[in-house]
Amino acid sequence: MTTTPATVGKAPQRHTLDLSNTSTVPLGRLVKVEMRKMVDTRAGLWLIVAIVAITALITVIVFFAGSDSDHTFIGYMGGTAGPQAFLLPVLGILLVTQEWGQRTGMVTFTLEPHRGKVIAAKVLAALLFGLIAVAIAVVGAALATTLSGDPGAWDNIGLDDFGKFALLQVTGVLQGLAFGLIFLNSAAAIVTYFVLPIAFSIVTSVWSALRDIAPWVNLGTSQQPLFSAQHLSGEQWAQLVTGTLIWVVLPFLAGLIRVLRAEVK
Amino acid sequence: MITLENVTKRYGKFTAVDGVSFVAQPGRVTGFLGPNGAGKSTSMRIMVGLTPQDGGQALIGGHRFADIPNPSRHVGVLLDASAQHAGRTGREVLRLSAATMGMGKERVEEMLTLVGLSGSEAKRRVRNYSLGMRQRLGIANALLGDPSVLILDEPVNGLDPAGIHWMRGLLRNFAAQGGTVLLSSHLLHEVEMIADEMVLIGRGKIVARGTKAELLHTAGTYVKPEDPAALLQALHAADIAATPSGDGGFRSEAEPIDVGRAAAAAGVVLAELKRAEGEGLEEMFLQLTSDDARDSITPEGVQV
């Protein structure tokens, strides 16, 4: 007599999940999703439209209204760097805070429970947005420089100059992201991001003891050379490093710890 | 299968989830029932790792949720239908999830059809959705990855009777195919309609669990006599406790046959004698969960 398998005629009820055919969510897929989240809502989309439009507008203004000395590639880049450095951090903030303000974090962190991986995807998305913004500025500046056709407009441009503009914008968008992680609230993060450095500058300007160390601790001061792609001395690079540590790296680490531990509701 | 073993979560001195243990079996719809603030949502967030527990463990199909790769392909989760970006369209919400899971766009359209969100509704932004529509969207989101386990927090909340009926069919069908369903509710009637098994929670503790029949079995007897005073006397003589139910009848913890014997022995005529059913469960639910309300009112009430 043969025995028939017990499972015949009845669907097997699985008490354990068979995970052998499932692979983890690739980081690249998460980065794509995070970038998409910035363009599929009105707030995010308009912010990006604003960044592109202001970059184009500044380039046009410098083209028509600027003096001859502004009509250089670096001149155009320097003109658009300011507004971009102003708006990109907001993009970084929204990239994080929309998950809490709109409570989508409950879905995001259920789809990918490893929060560090989600944050890594957001960091990479922020980096890409920063680099895309610089690329748009480069295209605008190159077009305008060609059209204005001033002699010597292309002089003294090296790869390091692109690097400096990229560094400026990437630092900004990551600083926004870090502030977003700390506050998990758009309004608080945006206000603090804009007010704290101003308050800090005021304090350092009236308090003489701090004035001397200001370039070392005030990121706004140490970033100044980046706007005009100046040559940076060793000391200036060191000041850039300390400023970035204080205003970007430390807030990011504090925010990361907060998010890894937070209860998502 | 979902297994909770002694799961505990404290907020300061307040214990929101207190040593909760239960199993939700595959092939069944398990209802997680309790009043607001009893610890249902916290327990469910612990299951999927959104809230870190202070003790015990929650396993899904033998794994911690965080250890399941691409977990949405195995476990469908709906914790709060309103936790969606108000500015995204329903379709976009599902497409984002599908993109994360690695499911195609066709799957999104299939799920929209399954939950009955029409083409024009899917194009609307979530801020313009009714709670019922958000629940449907949340169910679609949970089912997107073709999971074998569903964890749903208050999924019936905001649905109209037709919607509840639809949900019942959907979840029963899911369970009939071997899936595990755990759904929470603070409304007994909702769970009663949908669930095979029930887990009752109050003040962070499991107070009862079992199938509906098992829970009803402990609910006792409803009896309505011709002469209430005579029956009360007869029950008293037989040492059976009974409480008036307000309509001339009585409720008792005793079995119907014992109540019947006591009445027969005293020659009391009965108009009704039955096992206490629906109302019994409701009474039990209220009783099991009323401690919360009573305790919070009493201190001030007594002292004033």
The pLDDT of residue A5: 41
Q: What residues does B24 pair with on adjacent strands?
A: B2
Q: What is the 3 state secondary structure string of A78-144?
A: HHHHHHHHHHHHHHHHHHHHHHHHCCCHHHHHHHCCCHHHHHHHHHHHHHHHHHHHHHHHHHHHHHH
The pLDDT of residue A201: 82
**Which chain A residue has the Cα nearest residue B74?**
A17
Q: What residues does B2 pair with on adjacent strands?
A: B24, B60
Task: Kindly indicate the confidence band of residue B31, based on its pLDDT and cuts at 50, 70 and 90.
Answer: very high
- CA B231/CA B254 separation, integer angstroms: 14
**Which chain A residue has the Cα nearest residue B145?**
A111
Task: List the single residue in B70, B71, B148 with the smallest CB-CB distance to A23.
Answer: B70
Task: Kindly indicate the confidence band of residue B105, based on its pLDDT and cuts at 50, 70 and 90.
Answer: very high
The pLDDT mean for chain B works out to: 89
Which residues touch B275 (CB under 8 Å, ≥6 apart)?
B216, B219, B220, B221, B222, B256
- Residues of chain A contacting residue B45, judged by C-beta atoms under 8 Å apart: 263-265
Left, alpha or beta for B146 (phi > 0: left; psi -120 to 50: alpha)?
A: left
- Taken in order A90, A91, A97, A98, the sign of the CA dihedral is positive
Q: What are phi and psi of A92, to 5 degrees?
A: -60, -40
The pLDDT of residue B291: 57
Residue A131 burial (C-beta neighbours within 10 Å; 0-12, 13-18, 19+): middle
- CA A100/CA A104 separation, integer angstroms: 7
Domain of residue A101, residue span: 27-261
Whether residue A98 and residue B85 make contact (CB cut-off 8 A), yes or no, is: yes
Give the ipTM of the model, two decimals please.
0.88
**Which chain B residue has the Cα nearest residue A263?**
B51
The pLDDT of residue B279: 56
Instruction: Please check whether residue A21 lies inside any domain of the structure.
Output: no
Would you say B90 and B122 are in contact if contact means Cβ atoms under 8 Å apart? yes
The pLDDT of residue A215: 84
Task: Kindly indicate the confidence band of residue B148, based on its pLDDT and cuts at 50, 70 and 90.
Answer: very high
Would you say B200 and B206 are in contact if contact means Cβ atoms under 8 Å apart? yes
- Residues of chain B contacting residue A98, judged by C-beta atoms under 8 Å apart: 85
Show the low-confidence residues of chain A (pLDDT under 70). Answer: 1-14
- CA B65/CA B50 separation, integer angstroms: 10
Work out the average pLDDT over B163-179. 94
Left, alpha or beta for A36 (phi > 0: left; psi -120 to 50: alpha)?
A: alpha
The pLDDT of residue A172: 95
Task: Kindly indicate the confidence band of residue B301, based on its pLDDT and cuts at 50, 70 and 90.
Answer: very low
The pLDDT of residue A14: 63
- CA A143/CA A149 separation, integer angstroms: 10
pLDDT: is B247 or B45 the higher one?
A: B45
Would you say B253 and B259 are in contact if contact means Cβ atoms under 8 Å apart? no
User: A213: which 2 tokens?
Assistant: 């160390």
Work out the average pLDDT over B101-119. 95
* Nearest chain B CA: its distance from A112 CA (Å): 7
Task: Kindly indicate the confidence band of residue B218, based on its pLDDT and cuts at 50, 70 and 90.
Answer: low
The pLDDT of residue A212: 80
Instruction: Report whether pLDDT(B10) > 80.
Output: yes
Work out the average pLDDT over B106-118. 96
As a whole number of Å, the end-to-end CA separation of chain A is: 59
Whether residue B96 and residue A102 make contact (CB cut-off 8 A), yes or no, is: no
Instruction: Please check whether residue A195 lies inside any domain of the structure.
Output: yes
Instruction: Please check whether residue A19 lies inside any domain of the structure.
Output: no
Domains defined for chain B, CATH in brackets: 2-211 (3.40.50.300), 220-276 (3.30.70)
**Residue for token pair 């439009």:** A53
- Residues of chain A contacting residue B128, judged by C-beta atoms under 8 Å apart: none
pTM summary value:
0.85
Instruction: Please check whether residue A20 lies inside any domain of the structure.
Output: no
The pLDDT of residue B289: 63
The pLDDT of residue B212: 77
Number of folded domains that form chain A: 1
